[in-house]
Structure 1
Amino acid sequence: MKRYQNPDIFEHLAMSYALGTLQGRARLRFEKLQAKHLYLRAVTDAYQQQFAPLAQMLPGEQPPARVWAAISRELKLGKQTTIQPAGWLARLQDYLPWSVAAFASVAASVMTVLLLTANSQPAAYMATMKSPEAAQMIVATVSRETMQVAFDMPANVLPAESGMTPTFWCIPKDKAMPLMRMGTLANHDGMKMPIDKKVWKELAGVGEFAISMEPMDKPPADKPMGKVVFSGELAAL
Structure 2
Amino acid sequence: MSEVPEKDDDVVLAGEYALGLLSAAEAAAFEARLGAEPELRALYAQWAEDFAVLAEDIPEEAPPARVKAALDRRLFAGERPARRGLFERFGLAGLAAAALVAGLFFVVDVPGTGVQPPENPVYHADLRASGEEDIILAAGYDATTQEMYVERRGMQDRPGRDIEMWLIAGDNPPVSLGVLPENERLRLPMTQEQIAVLQGATLAISDEPEGGSPTGAPTGDILATGPLEDV
TM-score, normalised to structure 1, is 0.49
> Higher relative contact order at CA 8 Å, sep ≥6: structure 1 or structure 2?
1
TM-score, normalisation: structure 2: 0.50
State the structure with more CA Rg. Answer: 1
Q: Which structure features the higher share of helix residues?
A: 1
